[in-house]
Copies of this chain bind each other. A is one copy, B any other.
Amino acid sequence: MTDAATVMQHCDVLAACTDEPGSITRPFASDAMRRAHQYVREWMREAGMAVTRDNVGNLRARYEGTGTATLLLGSHLDSVRNAGRYDGPLGVMVAIAVVKRLRDAGRRLPFGLEVLAFADEEGLRFGSTYLGSRAVAGRLDGAELRRTDAGGVTMAEAIRAFGGDPEKLADDRWRGDRPLGYVEVHIEQGPVLEARGLPVGVVPAIAGQSRFEIAFTGEAGHAGTVPMDRRRDALTAAAEVVLAVEAAGATQEALVATVGRLEVEPGAANVIPGKVFFTLDVRHPDDRVRTPACEALIARTRETARRRKLAVEVRATSERPSVRCSPRLTALLKQAVAGRAPEVPSGAGHDGVYMSEITDVAMLFVRCKGGISHNPAESVTTADVGVALDVLGRFLELLARQ
């Protein structure tokens, strides 16, 4: 079996580690995760690595080099509800496979390799993302431990039940010298590579993101009796903004702007909508593009409310600046690609967001079918995984020569 075929098989095995039989749902510190760990530990050992587990529940496996420096590789093992099998696990499996190749060849690099299999990136169980990489970056606030899951279990209890000590999360912080970098392989989760007919791409940056919750309040009324010119319809106002958001997204390369949630009150066929609540999500790899785009959309929202005589509430619910990947590591990754290596900014967040606080970050995207992710239909080819494996292997050799 080729190394790529083994990676695919391992992703299938992990897909069977689920809390919801029939679909893939592997939350933080779950029974499904416990079963996944049994497999992953074994695969790490077969690749010649020493395996430990930290308090938050990350698996950490080390393959020593001839020197003391460390390059970090990895991705996450948790999933969203009813997930695909590659978002997360693929990056961990490719990292293990690359180490195994070195081991099988009896090769040591001038630096150690540490594979991080993060305990949580998606935030399914506690609604708080990046728990694994935040612990490694020393950014997991103790206040988070009081969060509860849908069953009322606190995060502290969940960590303890999974075998960690919630009072010692600070120990999970990276303790050695600054690592040489953190490199992650991940499915693209978008259609760009597929559209260009290329197996892999390098990530110049992880997009910054702004989220808003917006509510228009007009006046509900009888759909048959209130003349059009006397209406204060919250939905027609929201429709204007939805189209403005779409148009704004089209004005700049790599800008994406989305209204994903929209709720109408009272929501009856014969009643003019009195209130509409909706979300706005804006992302771009350059904050100098995102910030003015958001300002323009919020101004447009307020102008719409004024013109239509509606009340408007705008709440900025989150803002995350963009994370620029390391130009040096990204250039090496490009060099390692035999052929064209397009730059594909990541619109989704990744563990690199927090890892960038303690080291340089680089990411390699693998083409995924239809750009679909967070869905059972998530699909990659064995051939493309083979390319990613080879690229990561060559990258390590290039880095070793520097």
A residues sitting closer than 8 Å to B (CB atoms) are: 188-192, 195, 207, 209, 211, 220-230, 233, 235-236, 238-240, 242-243, 246, 249-250, 254-264, 267-273, 279, 281, 283, 346-349, 371-375
Contact = CB atoms under 8 A, between A and B. Distances in A.
B223 A256 contact: yes
Contacts of A222: 189-190, 347-348, 371, 373-374
A260 B267 contact: yes
A371 B230 contact: yes
B243 A243 contact: yes
B261 A264 contact: yes
B346 A225 contact: yes
A372 B269 contact: no
A345 to B, nearest CB: 9
Nearest to A371: B226
A260 B256 contact: no
Given A195-B230, A256-B228, A262 B235 contact: yes
A263 to B, nearest CB: 8
- State the number of copies, please: 2
B239 A227 contact: no
Contact of A191 (B230, B255, B264): B230
Contact of A235 (B242, B346, B373): B242
Contacts of A271: 260, 374
Closest 4 CB pairs of A and B: A224-B347, A190-B225, A239-B239, A223-B258
18 contacts: A188-B225, A190-B222, A191-B230, A224-B347, A224-B349, A225-B348, A225-B373, A229-B250, A235-B242, A236-B259, A238-B239, A243-B243, A258-B272, A260-B270, A260-B271, A261-B269, A263-B264, A269-B281
Nearest to A228: B249
A259 B260 CA distance: 19
Contacts of A239: 238-240, 242-243, 246
Contacts of A243: 236, 239-240, 243
A188 B240 CA distance: 30
A227 B246 CA distance: 11
A227 B192 contact: yes
A255 B225 CA distance: 10
A267 B261 contact: yes
Contacts of A346: 224-225
A259 B271 CA distance: 8
A191 B227 contact: yes
Given A230-B371, A233-B246, A260-B268, 19 more contacts: A188-B225, A190-B222, A190-B225, A222-B373, A222-B374, A223-B258, A223-B281, A224-B256, A224-B281, A224-B347, A225-B256, A228-B249, A233-B258, A236-B259, A243-B243, A260-B267, A260-B272, A262-B262, A262-B267
A211 B224 CA distance: 12
Contacts of A229: 250
A215 to B, nearest CB: 14
